[in-house]
Every structure is written in C-alpha cells, then in structure tokens.
Structure 1
Amino acid sequence: MYEEVISAPIPVLISDEKVMLEVCGWSVAAGFASPAADHTRKRIDLNKHLIYNGDATHVFRVAGDSMTGIGIYEGDRLLIDRSIEPKHNSIVLAVLNSEFTVKRLYKRGGVVKLVAENPIYPTTVIKEADDFTVWGVVTFNLHKLL
C-alpha cells in the first residue's frame, strides 16, 4: 500500500458536449431484474446532474490508497468544485507545502487537520508554519466497476 503525492496534478478535460442517457422513472432494486427496464421515460444530461458550477469544476485522477475507507480508489476520477466553501468533514483536494492531496477536512476549535480514510495513514495537523490551502471540494467520485 502506498500513497503517491502529486506535486502538480493535471486535470482531465471536461467536454462541453452533452452526454445524454436514458433514465427510468423508478428505483432499481439490487435484487432481481425488472422486466420494465426496457420502458425508460426520458434522457438526462450527466453534466446537469454532476456539475454544479462548470467554470469551477475540474476532474482529477486519484493516485494512492489513503481514501479507500470511503470508496475512493487508485484510478478513480474525482469531480472537484473550486466554488464550494470547504466545511468541516468535507472531502477536499488540499495543497500542503506545495503537494496536492485528497483528504477529509477537519476544522474545529481553531484546529485544522487532514484526515486519511485508511488507518495506515496518519492524520496531518496543519501548523501555522505550513503553506496550506484547500484547492477545491470533492463533489463526486467516478469509480469504474469493470
């Protein structure tokens, strides 16, 4: 297990082209298949459902395993919105001493920490001498199943 630190992540370009998919009008059980699956109702644009602010949203590929405890794995793509105010417990892309990292943000009582979601990684307490900024807030994880 390792965590690769990226000094300058390269964003994945988001196409302006609409991506339209069929949407069913009912929930899908994780049990037996529904014979009504062929009767979809409408098409949706994934950009409208996944991106809140297109000008401030970027896609980054994950390197490392420090966030596997919440389902973020090596190779996943994260949608990161720079226009969202980071809050306590947000999953963020942070820059700490010129290195980018994805972690859970802890902000309570004047204490700021970056918390990994894998017990083999320590929590990082942000010190006054650290060069620290939150680059953006993670809004979605695009995890490939196949």
Structure 2
Amino acid sequence: MKLYRPSEEEVTLPLVEGVKCGFPSPAEDFSGMRLNITEEIVKNPAATFYARVSGNSMINDGIGDGDILVVDKSVDPYDGCIAICYLDGEFTLKRVEKMKECIMLVPGNKKFKPIQVNDQNHFVIWGVVRYVIRKL
C-alpha cells in the first residue's frame, strides 16, 4: 500500500448538480458552479492521506486493487469502520470489529481469514477510510 499527501494546489472543476438517473431533460443546462474536490473530501488536511490499494481482500466492501482511499487519521475509529491498520510491522486494510476480549480485522472477501488482534501484537489503527476513488 502506498501513501500520499493531498496536494495543496487548488483545482476547481465545473459542477453539474441534480443529475437525474431517469429521462434526461435538455432544458437543464450547466449552472456555472465549480467544485474543489479536495475541499469536499479532505476535512482535515494535516491528518489526511491518500492510499492506493494493492490486493482484493476488501472487494466485497467495494474496495479493489488500484482504488485510491481518502484516509483521515483525525477520525476516531469506531466499531465496523474500514481502516488502515498497522499490525506487527505491516499496513493492512480491514474492517475493525471490537469484540469483548479482542479486536478482529475482518476482510471483505471470503477467500481471506479474519485476523484476531491481542495484547501480543503491535497494533495501531492508523486512519479511518472516508472515501474510495475508483476508475470505472
């Protein structure tokens, strides 16, 4: 997994709002509004990173190989969140489930087994995934 800092360069693009999924209306034109996507998805620039996914252990959670994650280290981890975790010297992307006696790192792909985290592991929830960016 590769980690990147968001660029501080401001880029705004035209915004078309209210895109209908039904029959298109030729009467609706572009409103002239613009959107800075970084401003929209990066709430805390000092604590936000992008990460490029390698592998398919989270494919059933809608995260696949090559996707880009927007990860916010300032968000408090919560039960069921998808997070980048640092476990015994390596980064891994998993769903975090808090159990009575331990934490389980659950993959979104049945081909992979959950990982039980206990006191013997060096473990940190590094950051919570806020957005997934994918090429269609």
Q: Which amino acid aligns with 1:42?
A: M
Distance 1:14 1:36 in 2: 37
* Greater mean alpha carbon deviation, residues 29-38 or residues 70-79: 29-38
SS at match of 1:87: coil
The percentage of counterpart residues that share the same residue type is: 34
Contact 2:15 2:30 in 1 (8 A): no
Give per-residue Cα distances to partners, 1:8-49, cap 9 Å, x unaligned: x442242111121222342x2334433245322411211221
Q: Choose which of 67, 80, 83 in structure 1 pairs with 2:58.
A: 67
Give the aligned partner of residue 110 of structure 2: 119
Contact 1:88 1:108 in 2 (8 A): no
Residue 16 of structure 2 is aligned to residue 24 of structure 1: yes
Tell me which stretches of 4 or more aligned residues in structure 1 moved more than 3 Å.
31-34
Q: Choose which of 85, 101, 119 in structure 2 pairs with 1:128.
A: 119
Distance 1:60 1:36, change over 3 A: farther
Q: Which amino acid aligns with 2:117?
A: I
The number of residue pairs the alignment matches comes to 136
Distance 1:118 1:34 in 2: 40
Distance 2:44 2:21 in 1: 32
Gaps of 5+ in 2: none
Give per-residue Cα distances to partners, 1:41-64, cap 9 Å, x unaligned: 411211221001000000110000
Give the aligned partner of residue 12 of structure 1: 4
Distance 1:132 1:39, change over 3 A: same
Distance 2:69 2:27 in 1: 32
Distance 1:77 1:36 in 2: 35
Give the aligned partner of residue 5 of structure 1: none
Give the aligned partner of residue 68 of structure 2: 77
Q: Which amino acid aligns with 2:36?
A: D
Distance 2:39 2:101 in 1: 36
**Aligned residues: CA RMSD:** 1.6
Distance 1:128 1:57 in 2: 28
Q: Which amino acid aligns with 1:44?
A: L
